[in-house]
Structure 1
Amino acid sequence: MKIYRLHYPHEQHELDLEPSAVAVGFFDGLHRGHQNVISKMEEIAEDKGLKKAVMTFDPHPSVVLSPKKQRTTYLTPLDIKLGMLEARGIDYCFVINFSSALADLTPDEFVQQYIMALDIKEVTAGFDFTYGKFGKGNIEMLSKYESFNTTGVGKIAEGEEKISTTRIREDLAKHDLAHANLILGRPYEVKGVVVQGEKRGRTIGFPTANIEPEYRYHLPAKGVYAVSMQIDNEGTVHKGVCNVGVKPTFHDNLERVSIEVHLFDFDQSIYGENVTVHWHHFIRPEWKFNGIDELKAQIAKDKQKAIGLLENL
């Protein structure tokens, strides 16, 4: 997959492009709704003999447009999103820097410079896609251009509610992991590296791998989860129980959230290894216990609960 990182203004003559069909959107999470938009683009590209392309943006537009509600954590950080698109067989990915200058373009200026100038012949986007200054451009306006065709993809819903990145983030924040995974279409995952921690877990019989996320992920809410963890270098996957939180039994004012995974039947040193944690089931919120013995007893219960939940994984 060829990746084109474009700023405003960009040098059009430096790009070596064949005609393409493009799916346009931010696509954070690449959830079932996003997959539907991209699948439609792929169908059109195959039918018309065009390169398959995705156009996305970085950072999230809210960083420029909504300072009080800016989104700086992601379900699929850019590098992860690019890897998933490459694995899907996408030919081109246009990553457009979302800056104040870009946000100030009129809808027509955006189309001229980022659709027509890139030799795009087919545009596919969600029904609610907007572009240009103040978001005044929409699917209907795109469809009026004669140099390319536009296909709007309707709402994909679970029940009566639209599948959206916002809903997944809300689900993760309120421990509704089951629903988040349902509309993602896969277990939520976070990539990271195993780093040195406080090593308190091994002193109480539950050694843990302390995971430092590689990117600015939107983490599941503080609590205990049944997870699986892949050691990327080996390709092996192990089941475990994970605590996301601030360890209130040992710290009164710790603010930095940690991710600690206790793997079942595992006794290896994996410091420095790159890993991927997959969240499968929520078990309970994070609690403060009245001493080590109470904590150990609850961890043992959590482990047994996780073993049962992951039995058929």
Structure 2
Amino acid sequence: MEIIRLNATDHIDMDEIRENATAIGFFDGLHRGHLNVIKTMIKIAEEKQLKKAVMTFDPHPSVVLNPKHQRTTYLTPLEVKLEMLEEMGVDYVFVVNFSSKLAKLEPDEFVRNYIISMNVRELISGFDYTYGKKGQGNTTTLNKYSEFNMTTVGKYALTDEKISTTNIQHKLARGDLEQANIELGRIYTIRGVVVQGEKRGRTIGFPTANIEASYKYFLPKNGVYSVTLEVHSTGGVHKGVGNIGVKPTFHDDIVKPIIEVHLFDFNESIYGENVTIYFYHYLRPEVKYEGIGPLVEQMEIDREQAKKLLEDID
């Protein structure tokens, strides 16, 4: 897969890029709705013998357009999104830098500089895609160009509510993890590195691996989860209980949430290992306990509940 990074001042030699079908959108999460757009692109590309391409943007447009509500964390950070697209068999990914200059482009300028110049012959987007200055361009205006064919993919919904990145984030933020996973079409994951922690867990019978996220992930609600942890170097997958939070029983001054995982029947040292956490079930919110005794009692309950919930997970 070839990754082509573009900014508002780039000049691209069209001869270097073969004719392609391109799915366009931000695609954070690569959820079921996004996959519907990308699968449509793949089908068209194969039927018309075109290269398969995806055009995405970095950073999120809100960083430029809506500074009061910027999105700087992601369900699928760019590096993860690129890996997932490669696994889908995409040939080109056009990563467009979303800058102030890009935001000021008139719709026609955007189309000519970023669609036609990319040798796009088939363009595929979701029904609500907009582009150009103040979002003046839309799927209707894209249909007016003779240089490429436009295909609009309708709303993808499991209920009356469409599947969207924003809705999935809202579900993760309120602890509705299982529904978020359904809408994603997979288990929500966070990649990271095992780092040194306070090592308090081992003194109370619950040793934990502290995970520092490798990218700017959107973190689910603070609380306790049933999880599995994949250790990349071995490929081993281990079941456990995960916690996202600020350890209120021990601290009053931690602001940034910490990710910890207690693994069942596991006593190896994995400091420095690259890992992926898979979040299966939200068990309960984070609570401040009056002492270690009540905390340990609750952690025993959490462990048994997580073991039961993960029984059928390979």
The question of a shared fold, defined as TM-score above 0.5 by the shorter chain, is answered with: yes
What per-residue deviation string (whole Å, max 9, x for no partner) do you get for residues 133-177 of structure 1? 000100010011011000000000121000000001000110000
Aligned-residue RMSD, C-alpha: 0.8
> Residues 236 and 15 from structure 1, CA distance in 2 versus in 1: closer, same or farther, beyond 3 angstroms?
farther
Q: Which residue is equivalent to 1:21?
A: 21
Q: In structure 2, what is the equivalent of residue 287 of structure 1?
A: 287
Write the letter of the residue equivalent to 2:306: A
Partners of 1:170 and 1:42 lie apart in 2 by 30
Does structure 1 conserve the Cα–Cα contact (< 8 Å) formed by 2:14 and 2:118?
A: no
SS where residue 64 of structure 1 aligns? helix
Distance 1:15 1:101, change over 3 A: farther
Contact kept, 8 Å, 2:14 with 2:119, in 1: the verdict is no
Residues matched between the structures, number: 313
Counterpart position of 1:212 = 212
3-state secondary structure, aligned to 1:89: coil
Letter in 2 for 1:6: L
Q: CA deviation at 1:189?
A: 0.2
- Determine the structure 2 residue equivalent to 1:255: 255
SS across alignment from 1:128? coil
| Equivalent position of 1:184 in the other structure | 184
Shift of 1:253: 2.0
Kept in 1, the 8 Å contact 2:238–2:263? The answer is yes
Partner of 2:112: 112
Q: Could you tell me how far apart the structure 1 residues matched to 2:257 and 2:146 are? A: 52
- Residues of 2 paired with 1:170 and 1:109: CA distance? 35
Percent of matched pairs sharing the same residue: 60
2: distance between equivalents of 1:252 and 1:6? 45
Q: Aligned with 1:283: secondary structure?
A: strand
**Structure 1 residues 15 and 238, CA, compared in 2 at 3 Å: closer, same or farther?**
farther
CA distance in 1, matches of 2:120, 2:232: 36
Question: Any idea what the Cα deviations from partners look like across 1:58-79, whole Å, max 9, x if unmatched?
Answer: 0000000000001000000000
- Corresponding residue for residue 163 of structure 1: 163
Aligned equivalents of 1:147, 1:24: Cα separation in 2: 16
| Unpaired segments ≥5 residues, structure 1 | none
List per-residue Cα deviations over 1:4-25 (Å, max 9, x = no partner): 0001111212872100000000
Question: What's the offset of the Cα at 1:279?
Answer: 0.2
Report the AA paired with residue 126 of structure 2.
G
TM-score (norm 1): 0.99
Aligned-pair CA distance for 1:233: 1.2
* 1:95 equivalent in structure 2: 95
Gaps of 5+ in 2: none
Q: Distance in 2 between matches of 1:269 and 1:254?
A: 26
Matched, 1:49 2:66: no
Find out whether 1:308 has 2:308 as its counterpart: yes
The CA distance in 2 between the partners of 1:249 and 1:14, in whole Å, is 60
Answer yes or no: is the 8 Å Cα contact 2:14–2:117 preserved in 1.
no
For the residue of structure 1 that corresponds to 2:131, the secondary structure is coil
AA of the residue aligned to 1:101: K
